[in-house]
Amino acid sequence: MPELPEVETVRVSLNKYIPHGVIKRVVVKKPKLLKDLTVTQFQSALVGQSFQPIERIGKLLIWPLKGQDLYLLTHLKMTGQFIFVNQEKLIATGHSDADSTMSLTVPNKYTHIEIHFNNGGAVYYNDMRQFGYFKLVNKEELLRVKSKYGLEPLTQNFSLDNFIALLQSNPKANLKQFLLNQSKIAGLGNIYVDEIAHRSGVSPMRKVGTISKKEILNLYEQINKVIKQAIKERGTTFSDYLDADGNKGNFIKYLKVYQRMGQHCLTCKKGEIVKVKIGGRGTHYCNNCQK
């Protein structure tokens, strides 16, 4: 479930390794993951170059190439993973969960793109559903891409005033779809939207225009709190999310509604967590304490 906290965790874990090597070899097994780019173009743009520290906007990773007007953009979509290993064919094992038996070897059948470095390290892109993409852009195109993203949580731009103004300019949307909209707020996805609405005591189907000042304040605080805590816990591993070291995220321990349908509410102890579909997305909330 790569949403903001997961993508941020991947970014930070990749940055331990990625900026320290010169790209020696690039393997592309699924050319269709390259957007507007042939395999040869991709390889010749990268080989011999090196990356500067990876940046992020929303759920998008930005890999600047050193000394070039060129940026690699990668999106993990639903099942993308970047796994870094120091030597080829090394086994990366997740250790974050005590009872985890998960382990993975790279490359594997879901490894579609590999970037090898001259220091012996390599980063492997795995993607079971092959929804993710790689794209090369220049600064101008990067700015155009960035401009489509909304307020970025945990930055100065995500101020209470800006948040209130954003809500006021979208009164007809329901809360669920509003929070999921990347052009309004960048980086929230299905899990964190449900968790944030729950912790704010607001129903995901509420029209944004009917949300009170007090509830807006709750939402603002919970977006900050949930995103911060999820980053601290290195994200949520529901099925296949892993960081660049192959570790799972721990935030699953703190989920109050996501995938808890039919269970009792941990917040009010009275309601039941129900699951409905809003805007085509599975949506979880408490039928008692979210109004």
Partner DNA sequence: CTTTCTGTTAGAAA
Partner DNA sequence: ATTTCTAACAGAAA
Annotated active-site residue in 59, 135, 184, 234 = 59
The residue (of 177 and 200) whose beta carbon lies closer to DNA is: 177
Amino acid sitting at position 95: H
Q: Where on the chain is the footprint of DNA (CB under 7 A)?
A: 1-3, 32, 58-59, 75, 77-79, 109, 128-131, 148, 172-173, 177, 180, 182, 189-191, 237-241, 275, 277, 279-282
2 part of the active site: yes
CA distance readout (Å), 190 to 1, 41, 170, 182: 8, 35, 19, 12
Select from 287, 217, 196 the least CA-distant residue to 4. 196
Task: Look up 3 and say whether it is catalytic.
Answer: yes
Q: Would residue 35 show up in a list of annotated catalytic residues for this protein? A: no
- Which of the residues 29, 77, 146, 281 is marked catalytic? 281
Nearer to DNA, 23 or 33 (CB): 33
Give me the sign of the Cα torsion angle 118, 87, 79, 178. negative
Q: Of the two residues 119 and 155, which places its CB atom closer to DNA in the complex?
A: 155
- CB-side exposure of 271: number of CA atoms within 13 Å? 21
Residue 214 bears catalytic tag: no
Q: Minimum distance from CB of 240 to DNA (Å)?
A: 5
Widest distance between CA atoms in the chain: 61
Smaller CB distance to DNA: residue 158 or 241? 241
Catalytic residue among 3, 8, 195, 215: 3
Q: Which two tokens stand for residue 220?
A: 């603002």
Q: Please, what is the minimum distance in Å from the beta carbon of residue 247 to DNA?
A: 14
Residue 165: HSE in the Cβ half-sphere, 13 Å Cα cutoff: 8
Residues acting as catalytic residues: 2-3, 59, 281
